[in-house]
Amino acid sequence: MSIVRRSLPWMRALAVAVLAACAAGRLAAQSAGMNGSIHGVVRDPSGAPVPGVAIVVQHVETRYSRRTETDEEGRYGIAGLPVGVYRLTAERAGFDSAELASVEISVGAAVEKNLVLSLSGPATKMEVNEQQEAVETASTSASVALGGERIEETPARSRNYLNFVALAPGLASTPQGGVQRSMTVIRQPAADSGFSFQGLRGRNNSVEVDGLDNRDETTGGNRVAIGLEMVQEFRVAGAITGAELGGAAGGLINVVTRTGSNTMHGDVTFFTQNAVFNARRPEMAPGLRPRFVRWQPGTSWYGPLRRDRTFLAAAVEGERETAEEWSDVDEDDARRINAVLGRFAALPLRHVTRGLYGTAERGEEAFAKLNHLSSASDTVALRYAFSRGRALGDVQPINHFLDRSAGGSSSTLDHSLAGNWFHVASPALVLELRGQFAVREQTLRPNAPGPMLEIPGVATFGQAYRLDGRRRDRHWQWVAGADWTRGRHRISAGVTVRHVGLDADWRERFHGLFVFPTLEDFERGLPDVYSQAFGSTAFTLPTTQTGLWWQHRWQARDGLLLELGARADWQWFASPRVPDTCLQASPRAGISWRPLRTRPLVLRAGFGLFVDRYPLGWLFPAVQRDGLRGMELYAVGSGAVEAFQRLLGGAALASAPGLVPSAYAVARPLQPAIARKWTAGVEYGLSADTRITLQAAWTRAWRLP
């Protein structure tokens, strides 16, 4: 038995980005959850702090309100505010009351609002029409947040909110994601999130919806799809100093779904694309325009079931696409390959395709979210999301020189049921409990039977070695957190537990793979490489992940914020073939400084260790081909030629003489990917709607799978 251990060297990435953006792209995610916070200082006209001021913030659309009082330093703070626009009022006997009519709270942001109360005269109420600054001073991490009408009204290809993620600096698209074209359909066997932050893999990112994990534990991609109308806001960041973010070495994509309001809203949408309006694809022959028709009807509604108390938001949307793809095998090469396939009667594939062939896509998604304000101290929410996508003949595991036979079809079904309970124990202490249960079922089917045959630089045809399998994942997650605010200090702590139960029947490499150095070698039947797995294809792979975190934010003085935190992560595997990971500690630290109080200039710096969860798909070979349940034959040179001749002659390959079986095993101890990130940046507000940011990040990552 041979032991195969795969490891990649550490990598470094230096990313520098300059970004001018609108004010909706608020900076600073202090938390990976679904809420924001507000804090500030209340003073009198002489600049002295005013204690005992009653501070009330009220959500404009739902009338949900929270209250607190300023302390002896005139400071106040309210954490755990749902995303939206708030009205803030400040009152105390002997002073005129003050009101801020529009304070925008975005996901994960800490908004600072300082007030000056005038001494009481005739009964008056002062309305402060202060515009919110484009820069956010109370944050140690730079990020981009988009929401509201900017998402709903901005054109987006295929109406996919993840297309907006590309607006964030320091990231690039990955070819495995396929998110630009559809939210529900998988076109890559190892589809990841679609984005690479600071040079890390697309499967190393954290994708969250309402503060709950939405990452596919097998490939690192996205799970259930959310329609564009149901996205209230999302935030994108390459490095967050908040310790609540864990289980990912890459960046953060955090989505907050829409909540109903006291005003009823409704939409009917229809999106369409047609090849008539598309530019010619560069790989197509001149004058050849493939068929492409896509349409997406949808509708959404949100409003009150009971005013000021119970709200509902719901949406449904469908996708239909009929298209043609291009088999980019050269015409002369295709003719020669087909002539050889005619001689090799034992191969199931009879010919390769040249030119266009038909593909199709079908998708549906549905969403419903119920919010209930049960009391002044308690709110609950329940959300259900469903998505299903089918790609017919359009799954492409290889990027170049791919024949239609090497493609396949996919079917993906997602259900997600999530809920949260939010409790205000006191003006200073808030508690939150979030949970979800989700199921993903995925099937991959090849376009052709038999082994995969590859001639590098010429053609890949036959059954692709990764396109035959099915899996069913069951996801459970619980998150409990507490947030305590007092004066200049805010302390957060919590725990998260994830469990994934995976059942799979996976046939990767079980149909064989032959690599021929040249077309002439294929004509002579002389492969250089042969690989094929044998044994049982069905297996289970459950895993449990636990994380603990603690975070302390200290406003050392006006304009200077210090942040310190830490988290610990474990991952267990209920399989004797996969060892558990060791305890991983992740310190976090950050600083934000506003050196000039009269200028919207902020300097930031941060440091953190980020520990990833191990993607289950990279453990499949060790579970299947451990030398007991299965094994793999691998041969080069004359051994590969002998295997091919036995295949043509109809002989069994598993017992071929001279071919040594090999097995896979997981290295012990199992070490997850870790990224060490240093960030530094400067940000300046050019106006109330525009900012310019210079951000530098130095990232070093180990053991990326």
pLDDT (tens digit per residue) in 210-240: 989 999 999 988 999 998 888 888 888 777 7
Q: Is pLDDT of 325 > 50?
A: yes
Determine contact, residues 660/530, Cβ cutoff 8 Å: no
Per-residue pLDDT at 178 exceeds 70: no
The yes-or-no verdict on residue 202 having pLDDT over 70 is yes
Q: Report the pLDDT value the prediction gives residue 168, as an integer from 0 to 100.
A: 74
The residue ranking higher by pLDDT, 25 or 301, is: 301
Contact 593, 560 (CB under 8 A): yes
User: Does an H or E element contain 658, and which?
Assistant: none
CB contact at 8 A, 224 and 414: yes
Name the nearest CA neighbour of 232 among 255, 208, 209, 216: 255
Contact (CB, 8 A) for 289 and 323: no
> What kind and span of H or E run contains 79?
strand 75-82
584 and 673 in contact (C-beta within 8 Å)?
A: no
Cβ atoms within 10 Å, residue 20 = 11
Task: Return phi, psi of residue 149, to 5°.
Answer: -65, -25
Q: What is the pLDDT of residue 16?
A: 40
Q: What is the pTM of this model?
A: 0.87
Q: pLDDT tens for residues 480-498?
A: 999 998 888 999 999 999 9
Q: Where are the beta strands (DSSP E) in 396-528?
A: 408-424, 429-446, 452-455, 459-462, 469-486, 489-506, 513-515
Q: Residue ranges of the alpha helices (H) in 344-469?
A: none
Which class for 450: exposed (0-12), middle (13-18), buried (19 or more C-beta within 10 A)?
middle
Tokens of 145: 């947040």
Choose among 163, 148, 316: nearest CA to 227.
316
What type of residue sits at position 646?
A: R
Going by pLDDT thresholds of 50, 70 and 90, the confidence category of residue 134 is low
Bridge-based pairing state of the strands 35-43 and 489-506? unpaired
CA distance 552 to 495: 16
DSSP letter assigned to residue 202: G
Is pLDDT of 273 > 70? yes
Q: Which residues pair with 670 in a beta bridge?
A: 581
Res. 270: pLDDT tops 60: yes
**Nearest-angstrom CA–CA distance, 584 and 549:** 12
Q: How confident is the model at residue 199 (pLDDT cuts 50, 70, 90)?
A: confident
Amino acid at 650: G
Q: What are phi and psi of 235, to 5 degrees?
A: -125, 140
pLDDT for 135 equals 65
Q: Whole-angstrom Cα distance, residue 234 to residue 151?
A: 9
Nearest to 308 by CA among 377, 371, 262: 262
User: Which candidate, 145, 39, 58, places its Cα nearest to that of 486?
Assistant: 39
Please give the distance of CA 492 from its chain centroid, rounded to a whole number.
24
Rounded Cα gap, residues 90 and 653, in angstroms: 81
Between CA 412 and CA 423, with CA 417 as vertex, the angle to 5 degrees is: 150
- pLDDT tens digits along 534-555: 999 999 999 999 999 999 999 9
Question: Would you say residue 339 has pLDDT above 70?
Answer: yes
Q: How far is it, in rounded angstroms, from Cα 273 to Cα 284? A: 19
Q: Give me the residues paired with residue 499 across strands.
A: 476, 544
CATH of the domain spanning 143-702: 2.40.170
